[in-house]
Amino acid sequence: MNKKLLLIVLIICIIFAGSSVELMAKVKFRNWDKWDQQLPEMNNKYWSWTFPGEKSTMLTIEGQLILITTYLYFGTSKNRASVIFYSPASQKTKIKKDYIPDPKFALVCFPPEKKKIMIRAYEIRNIEEGLSQFLEEWEIPFTQYQDGVPQGVKFRENFKEWLNQQAPSELVESLKNKNGEKTLNMFLPKLRIDDKGRFKLVPPISDDFINIISVTPNSGLIDGVDNNFKVVVKYNLFSSIEGLLQVAFNNQESINSIRFVKDTHCIVYKGSGMYEFNVTVKPKNWGSKGDFNVLVTLDEIPQVSNRFLATDVKILTFK
């Protein structure tokens, strides 16, 4: 090999070596540099519990246990990743012993860079032996309130197929029908950011949420004429012992102005349930300006943040 050719080879090697170092730097976090291959072993000093008093949480639909989730942090209190493990319901008997009962998948949400956050998915073969395999990674905006696994990510299909296998036979069809995507979104995590910028991945079913189940009537309204509305909501209060449900309509001076209906609030307690609002309201037809909406909110008692814990909105239509 002549000197000129040797020099070219050396330059190419240096370029590739530099690229490898840069790539490894991107995936290194704390003392672990194999995030693009597998999870750190569970005896790593940087693991800590997200919810020390409730290490594993049961995820249920209509009283049927579907999955088990376990939440951990990796890192320090000032700079850490949020990790959620998904275990099949069949491992319930092992919760007291292991706390991470033979999980199938793990999602790791890393600290934000340039207003974006990286999430990596792993399949776990044996948590105790440290056998896991990196599957996929994606980025999402670091803003409240984002889907942790957005549309277009391949992991959604992997998780959906596994979720259908975990569901009791009487729920399988309901998971596969038109509500299947909504059910999937109940278990896939959201990126949750508090007022201090601290973040974690938590499925909506283990978070604070409120959903409008039905509004009667929801169409054929007449502008300015009193209407008796029945608004049925389903809620879950997770982060507070006591909470408040309220209902509002945008029938005030401007389309973006809402007012809670007086004397219709409801105090609820930690857990899930349903509630029915019965209110009399004058609908406002905004025409080309926009839609007439009903808004429901869930908030904590006492209030500790300017944000509602959860909201939901439904559009109502006129004749």
**pLDDT tens figures, 184-198:** 878 899 888 876 788
pLDDT higher for 84 or 193? 84
Which strand (E) or helix (H) includes residue 234?
strand 227-249
Listed in sequence order, the DSSP H helices in 126-190 are 155-166, 169-176, 180-187
pLDDT higher for 230 or 207? 230
Which strand (E) or helix (H) includes residue 48?
strand 47-49
pLDDT score of 25: 40
Which strand (E) or helix (H) includes residue 215?
strand 209-216
pLDDT score of 64: 78
Name the DSSP letter for residue 32. Answer: B
pLDDT higher for 205 or 276? 276
Q: What is the rounded CA–CA span in Å between residue 132 and residue 208?
A: 31
Q: What is the rounded CA–CA span in Å between residue 300 and residue 318?
A: 34
Residue 71's closest CA among 240, 201, 193? 201
Comparing 3-7, 103-107, 180-184, 210-214, the range with the smallest average pLDDT is 3-7
pLDDT score of 196: 77
* Residues 134-153, mean pLDDT to the nearest whole number: 90
Fold assignment, 209-316: Immunoglobulin-like (2.60.40)
Please provide the average confidence, as pLDDT, over all residues in the chain: 85
Residue 208's closest CA among 240, 167, 250, 179? 240
Q: What are 83's two structure tokens? A: 């990790």
pLDDT score of 52: 84
pLDDT tens-digit series, residues 248-293? 999 998 999 888 998 899 999 988 789 999 999 999 999 999 999 9
Domain boundaries, the chain: 34-204, 209-316
pLDDT over 90 percentage in the chain? 51
Q: What is the rounded CA–CA span in Å between residue 212 and residue 196?
A: 29
Distances (CA, A) of 158 to 110, 176, 188: 21, 14, 12
Local structure of 22: helix, strand or coil: helix
Residue 266's beta-bridge partner residues?
245
